[in-house]
A and B are shown apart, each in its own frame.
Chain A
Amino acid sequence: EADIYQTPRYLVIGTGKKITLECSQTMGHDKMYWYQQDPGMELHLIHYSYGVNSTEKGDLSSESTVSRIRTEHFPLTLESARPSHTSQYLCATQPRTGVGNSPLHFGNGTRLTVT
């Protein structure tokens, strides 16, 4: 059973389009994260949130935005997609404890291709 839902699973879109990647969770976790993952590379933190109305930028945040209006939802928006945005995007949650004390729970990702 999936506790973290990411949609769409796959997306092919043209350059310049605005897109929103959805992430929903049913576990009631306060912390949510967006990571970017390329083949053979480490995960890079894009944005994170410690709760409703809390959002922070990660290492790769300059071209995207997030919102956290409800605990369950943490959508990621690219205002103008570029081929360099082609990647796997992973959403993760974590309960309210020290940052490394509980495991991250990941969704199955959105594979984005920008043509």
Chain B
Amino acid sequence: KNQVEQSPQSLIILEGKNCTLQCNYTVSPFSNLRWYKQDTGRGPVSLTIMTFSENTKSNGRYTATLDADTKQSSLHITASQLSDSASYICVVSDRGSTLGRLYFGRGTQLTVWP
């Protein structure tokens, strides 16, 4: 069964600290993996995409990693800010064609305290 598991379910950190969110998947075949950020009361917004050949990709203070062998991805947030408080959702695509589908994780709820 194709699944996407995220951990931790929730996380509280102090402003300025770093944190890492995890995403494990069993989706096969694998096309790509995206991390989305969802602010409270808003729709998710794409942060980054990881394809099979990519190991690391950065977007500002966000760095995503992918280990396609172990089927694990992480999202590292550096020097957290209050605006980073949000739910972070991992989404895996099983193929790049129109016939493919998306598999969603349940998200990690991050709270950054001042």
Residues of B in contact (CB 8 Å), total: 30
Which single residue of chain A is at the shortest CB-CB distance from B38?
A106
Interface status of A32 (Cβ within 8 A of chain B):
no
Interface status of A78 (Cβ within 8 A of chain B):
no
User: Taking the nearest CB of chain B, how far is it from the CB of A76, in angstroms?
Assistant: 15
Interface status of A62 (Cβ within 8 A of chain B):
no
User: Taking the nearest CB of chain B, how far is it from the CB of A54, in angstroms?
Assistant: 11
Interface status of B62 (Cβ within 8 A of chain A):
no
Give complex CA distance A28, B102 in Å. Answer: 22
Residues of A in contact (CB 8 Å), total: 19
Contacts of A106 on B, CB cut-off 8 Å? 42-45
Q: Which listed segment binds B: A13-21, A66-74, A79-87, A92-100?
A: A92-100
A103 touches B102 (CB 8 A): no
Interface status of B31 (Cβ within 8 A of chain A):
yes
B96 touches A40 (CB 8 A): no
Contacts of B102 on A, CB cut-off 8 Å? 45, 99-100, 104
Of A4, A50, A100, the residue contacting B43 (CB under 8 A) is A4
8 CB contacts below 8 A, A to B, read A40-B106, A42-B105, A99-B97, A99-B102, A100-B95, A104-B36, A109-B41, A109-B43
Interface residues of B (CB under 8 A from A): 4, 9, 31-32, 34, 36, 41-46, 49, 89, 92-102, 104-107, 109
